[in-house]
Structure 1
Amino acid sequence: MTRFTVFAIHGVPEVVPGADLAALIGDAIAADPEQALADGDVLAVTSKVVSKAEGRTAPAADRDRVITEETVRVVAERPTPDGRVTRIVENRLGIVGAAAGVDASNTADGTVLRLPEDPDASARRIRTALEARFGLRLGVVVTDTLGRAWRTGQTDVAIGASGVRLLVDLAGTLDASGRPLGVTAPAVGDEIAAAADLAKGKATGLPVAVVRGLGHLLDADAPGARVLQYPAERDWFRRGSAEAHRDGYEAGLAAAAAAAEQAQQTRTHRILPPTEVP
């Protein structure tokens, strides 16, 4: 690969619950010859429209409850100036981020959206439908916006995929100087999502982009987006700083109490030396 191109698909209408998203995308593509797909293209589809089509809407008043329902592990909590609490959590998809991915942007007033139930399955349905319609090999990546640890701002990442590799393991290959690479594994799925976001934008009503020139990444048997999730048991920063401090403080109190109890038991039950018999 020497270059790739990215362009947004125009003409996808507002998506409502129960809509056939693959058909809407296909109709928009077919309506404009300049948007015609090519073999090996990767489509990046914003998770918002996937969630809308799948009816993943909830009342905004239930936002806190919905976040709790989508959460499997709380990583960190911080109060905000308006009296609310921001929660960084691991959601049921294995993604660590703010509010379990529950979001109110680009959705109807008074509502919030959950992430898709199974983004990999959603990507697979879109891919198989569009491949059948256009007779091409395609990849599909479902994207969402996340912040990053130790970095300001947000970027789009891959939370679901079908037909495209998201992680390329270069361990054992050689760099440009002939030295072997050890643990290098580009997260190409996230790079595709971020590149597509530059074309889609955040508030332009363009939920789908085509990334062309990455046909070498297409693989019908490629694993889904969980391949990009870092194993929790290997996470060096599994807890937020305040939570880790609280856990350490409570563990220290428990250890001190246990040591004091052990010392008391030793004093109470110590064995006295026998009395010397004259």
Structure 2
Amino acid sequence: MMTPRLTVWGLEGIPEIVAGDDLVVRIGEAVDAAAHNDPDAALRDGDILVVTSKIVSKSEGMQVPASEREKAIADDTVRIVAERVHPGGVMKIVETRQGLIMAAAGIDMSNVPEGVALRLPEDPDRSARALCAGLRQRLGVDIGVIITDTIGRAWRVGQTDQAIGAAGLQLTDDLRGANDANGRPLHVTVAVVADEIAGAADLVKGKTSGIPVAVVRGLGRLVRDLDGPGARTLARVGDDDMFRFGSAEAFRLGYEAAMAELGEGRIAASTKQRQD
């Protein structure tokens, strides 16, 4: 049996992306240049390209003036999940139009020109499908594409990358019904491999290296047709979200429910007195 092996490397040579740039062309040129210098870097069937959302947003013209950042956050917010006051203002954790739970609706001012803020792609899954289809045609290989963004975790310090858009690959590894290494049945284990790949790729992309794309090799079993589900299907929504409300929302809803119950109790007591 072959030992499992995963190879991850950053794709260098991608220029600064501006609105209107064709990412299929820009990434394809970088792939061609890398393969010219190292034939092993030529993309193969089963490779996965992991693309930082920032260059997708830049190419799609999602820049706004920094002075309009708060308005952009409000425009991109479906609901406020939690708020916390800090010395610099109020941090808002919100649900975005894309179905993500993120600080400041994912609107960022790092790695962009001075005075500019950058919104997330309008539809990351649609962007991933277009990029995957275009690169498959240009390069002649069946690859998968993941678009990533950085996110904090509620119970862990710091941030990591996660998949916010995806195309051409299986996103989860559902192990329910299988047995673990000791023969015990697995009942709830669903590995979100798209997020695991996103985190692995960030180790070679980073936030300060100027490398916005990584190649992941060794997971060809996950590469699929383009008509599969996108990363939006990974979000817990509605009743599946066990932590849907922030503390302020939870307090308000509990208070309103208690007052309603108290009011109903008074009405019932008054009715009983009249009947007696």
> Shared fold by TM > 0.5?
yes
1:166 aligns with 2:166: no
**Structure 2 partner of 1:276:** none
Offset at 1:261?
Answer: 4.2
Q: How does 1:98-109 map to 2 (within 5 A)?
A: 98-109=103-114
Identify the match of residue 32 of structure 1 among 19, 31, 34: 34
| Higher CA-based Rg | 1
Deviations 1:166-198 (A, max 9, x none): 111111112112222111110000000000000
* Percent identity of equivalent pairs: 54
- TM-score, L = length of structure 1: 0.92
Offset at 1:201?
Answer: 0.6
CA distance in 1 between partners of 2:115 and 2:45 (Å): 41
Deviations 1:135-159 (A, max 9, x none): 1110000000001121111100000
- TM-score, L = length of structure 2: 0.93
Deviations 1:239-273 (A, max 9, x none): 11232123212322333234334434544xx146x
Q: How does 1:148-163 map to 2 (within 5 A)?
A: 148-163=153-168
Structure 1 vs Structure 2 CA RMSD: 1.5
Deviations 1:35-68 (A, max 9, x none): 3212211000000000000001111111111111
CA distance in 1 between partners of 2:205 and 2:75 (Å): 30
After the TM superposition, which of the residue ranges 225-234 and 192-201 deviates more from structure 2? 225-234
CA distance in 2 between partners of 1:180 and 1:264 (Å): 57
SS in 1 for 2:170: coil
Residues paired across the two proteins, number? 269
CA distance in 2 between partners of 1:108 and 1:231 (Å): 35
CA distance in 1 between partners of 2:263 and 2:125 (Å): 49
1:166–1:227: 8 Å Cα contact kept in structure 2?
no
1:136 aligns with 2:141: yes
Q: How does 1:1-278 map to 2 (within 5 A)?
A: 2-33=4-35, 34=38, 35-82=41-88, 84-220=89-225, 221-267=227-273, 270-271=274-275
Unmatched tracts of structure 2, length 5 or more:
none
Unmatched tracts of structure 1, length 5 or more:
273-278
After the TM superposition, which of the residue ranges 4-13 and 174-183 deviates more from structure 2? 174-183
SS in 2 for 1:78: strand
